[in-house]
């Protein structure tokens, strides 16, 4: 496959900053979609508002760039009205878990047949670096100038608890694994949620001693721990440090799905 065949090359250059992690997630997603062998005309990308949500605008398929937080609700209408369409949602941590939190948990509960890919940069990128529901405790942002005093959401834990059929987390370091997880999500009926931790050098890294893109990637690499290993550690009574990122497939099941052609 060539990326040119999937991208609106007439819209380039894109708006993303140099070193932004969103591009990696777009590449992984397009590779996964291509591997599925789907026709372009049967795919719809949907998004809310944010840097992450600009992704559909660069892809040649039909796409709906909606309002902040509401992508899953729009996507639900598309999928219910025409179950033959493959509907993929791009969202950000703020879009999904703050303003869109209600739609997120209800999408999981309905187990509507969507693939939702969250580019979690732990910050509001588009609006210049305000704290988000996934900003780690203590991290600096323009609205947490003394360090965030709130706990961060575990997006995957939320999705799994609310009923999503497939849940996985990787980072922009784990390109192969992320691509495979997206592919698995695309092929799995019901709500598939893939969280991709990504670097935002401009608005997160710069304020949190991860100024270089390589610093953040190195951080993801050194702090990632496979779900199975974390499980073993727990069984052995070992404590998993709070700043570790648990990666891998976190839920895979076969609850009845909504929006699937009978």
Partner 1 sequence: MSRIDFMQGNTACAEGALAAGCRFFGGYPITPSTEIAEHMAAKLPKVGGVFIQMEDEIAGIASVIGASWTGARAMTATSGPGFSLMMENIGFAVMTETPCVVVNIQRGGPSTGQPTMAAQGDMLQCRFGSHGDYSIIALSPASVQEMYDLTAEAFNLADRFRIPVFVMADEIIGHMRERLMIPDSVHRGERKLLGKGNLPYQADDDLVPGFPVFGKGYGVHVTGLTHDERGYPCATSPSVHECLVKRLVDKVESARDSIASCDIVNPDARVVFISYGAPSRAVEQVLHDIHNDNVGHLRLKLVWPFAESLLSRFSNAETFIVPELNMGQMAREIKRHTNRRVIPVPKLGGALHDPFDLAALVEELL
Ligand X SMILES: Cc1ncc(C[n+]2csc(CCOP(=O)(O)OP(=O)(O)O)c2C)c(N)n1
Using CB under 6 A, list all residues that contact ligand X: 49-52, 68, 92-95, 119, 121, 123-127, 132
Cβ nearer to Mg ion, comparing 99 with 244: 99
Query: Tokens standing for 40?
Result: 């372009």
Q: Is 57 in the site for partner 1 (CB under 8 A)?
A: yes
Note whether 255 and 165 are within 8 A (CB): yes
Minimal distance, residue 239 CB to partner 1, in Å: 37
Nearest to 197 by CA among 137, 117, 104: 117
Binding status of residue 48 toward ligand SF4 by CB under 6 A: no
- The strand pairing partners of 194, in sequence order, are 117, 168
Burial class for 2, CB neighbours closer than 10 Å (0-12, 13-18, 19+): exposed
| Site string (7-46) toward ligand SF4, x via CB under 6 A | ---------xx--x-x------------------------
Map residues 27-56 to x or -, x wherever contact with partner 1 holds by CB under 8 A: -------------xxx-x-x---------x
Q: How many whole angstroms separate alpha carbon 29 and alpha carbon 76?
A: 20
Tell whether residue 121 is a contact of Mg ion (CB under 5 A).
Answer: yes
Would you give the binding string for Mg ion spanning residues 74-103, x where CB under 5 A is met? ------------------xx----------
**Position 73 contacts partner 1 (CB under 8 A):** yes
- Which one of the spans 32-40, 65-73, 182-190, 198-206 is the region binding ligand SF4 (CB under 6 A)? 198-206
Residue 77 lies near partner 1 (rule: CB under 8 A)? yes
What would the 3-class secondary structure string for 73-95 be?
A: HHHHHHHHHCCCCEEEEEEEHHH
64 binds partner 1 (CB under 8 A): yes
Kindly state the smallest distance separating residue 85's Cβ from partner 1, in Å: 5
Q: Of 24 and 165, which has the nearer Cβ to ligand X?
A: 24
Q: Which residues pair with 117 in a beta bridge?
A: 90, 194
Rounded least distance, CB 51 to Mg ion, Å = 7
Q: How far is CA 164 from CA 108, 128, 250, 258, in A?
A: 4, 31, 10, 11
The reply to whether 88 sits near partner 1 by the rule CB under 8 A is no
Ramachandran assignment for 19, one of left (phi > 0), alpha (psi -120 to 50 degrees), beta (any other): left
Query: Which two tokens mark 256?
Result: 């009845």
């Amino acid at each position: 496959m060539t990326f040119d065949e999937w991208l609106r090359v007439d819209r380039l250059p894109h708006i993303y900053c140099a070193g932004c992690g969103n591009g990696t997630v777009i590449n992984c997603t397009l590779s996964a979609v291509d591997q599925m062998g789907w026709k372009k005309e049967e795919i719809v990308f949907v998004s809310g508002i944010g840097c992450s949500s600009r992704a559909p605008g660069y892809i040649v398929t039909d796409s709906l760039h909606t309002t902040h937080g509401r992508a899953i609700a729009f996507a639900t209408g598309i999928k219910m009205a025409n179950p033959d369409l493959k509907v993929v949602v791009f969202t950000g941590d703020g879009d999904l878990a703050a303003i869109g939190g209600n739609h997120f948990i209800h999408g999981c509960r309905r187990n509507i047949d969507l693939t939702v890919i969250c580019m979690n940069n732990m910050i509001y990128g588009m609006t210049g670096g305000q704290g988000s529901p996934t900003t780690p405790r203590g991290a600096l942002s323009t609205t947490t100038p003394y360090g965030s005093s709130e706990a961060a959401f575990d997006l995957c834990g939320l999705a799994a608890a609310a009923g999503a059929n497939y849940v996985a987390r990787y980072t922009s370091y784990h390109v192969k694994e992320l691509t495979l997880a997206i592919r698995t999500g695309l092929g799995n009926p019901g709500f598939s949620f893939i969280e991709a931790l990504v670097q935002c050098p401009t608005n997160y890294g710069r304020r949190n001693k991860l100024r270089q893109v390589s610093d953040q990637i190195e951080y993801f690499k050194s702090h990632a721990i496979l779900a199975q290993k974390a499980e073993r550690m727990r069984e052995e009574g070992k404590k998993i440090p709070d700043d570790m990122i648990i990666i891998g497939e976190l839920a895979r099941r076969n609850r009845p799905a909504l929006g699937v052609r009978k």
